[in-house]
Structure 1
Amino acid sequence: MDFSGWICAPNGAIPEVARERGCEFDGLSFHWFPKERFEDEDNLALIQDFQNDGPWHRYIDREGKIEIPPDNKVLKAAWLTRREHIIHRKYALRQTHLWITKGWDPPFNYSHTLHCTGYLVDTIMENPPPDLNDITTHVSPWPAHWPIRLEGGDW
């Protein structure tokens, strides 16, 4: 597996050129991904869930005066609302896990996962829930009955 964060075409690629390379643009990640991965039904459902959590407005300027049209696929950079940045984390982590379970190279590299998880925890800790230190969750290993290796190497 390639964990480098390789993408099908570079950000800012002309859509016709990217599609000639067999790529489709993913508005969740702002990346061009291989068409067969992008069009996978589970991936499309995940992207649709992200879109349903919108609407998302992206901007050229930090002040939010110049909105980027939603169909713009030639993005090299954009300003987002904090809400979108937080919701993106949820779906980026899900997409990464989904792709790995399908045996595909992940759509993001590990530093992006570190960024996502750190950002989510930092956001929670800025305004922690009142029950943060209460005992609220019961956990157990999953699966509950993992095969145990017998002496001698037999299962």
Structure 2
Amino acid sequence: MPKTVVGLFEKPDLVDGVVREIEALGFPRIEVHTLTEPATFEVTGVMSFPRIEFEVEVGRALARIGATNAESQVYLDGLGRGGALVFATGSDEQVDAAAKIMNQHGAVGIEENIGSEPQMPGIVRENITPIRDRPVQAGRIQVSGSGAVFFVW
């Protein structure tokens, strides 16, 4: 069963160093991905809504690995504020090591340890529906006190 760790970084200039360290663990480049919001969105037609299309595509990708709608929204908000996401997929040992690297470089925690509503400093979450289940649920593992989140899919 594939396991993916996702880290949200408020400072995208950190991401290149994080990716280099993760690849040094033996991750194939195809299993390490980064994502930032495009500076501009190309309009492809009269009914084109490129920003919305980007958000829907990212939301679908996050849902495929087990992220909740609320988590996806926090990630999208982080991207919209100029942040970056790093994804690494591999074995349990590899993703554990990748998460450690992400956390050492300041991956932003999106959940408080005492609750399960996603948190990110400076993000207003007025329209996010709170999660009403345990912080650890099928498909997602939040490690207490860390920023990186594991998704098993």
Give the greater-gyration-radius structure (CA).
1
Q: Which has the higher contact order (CA 8 A, sep 6+)?
A: 2
Q: Normalised by the size of structure 2, how large is the TM-score?
A: 0.30
**TM superposition score normalised by structure 1:** 0.30
Identify, as 1 or 2, the structure richer in strand. Answer: 2
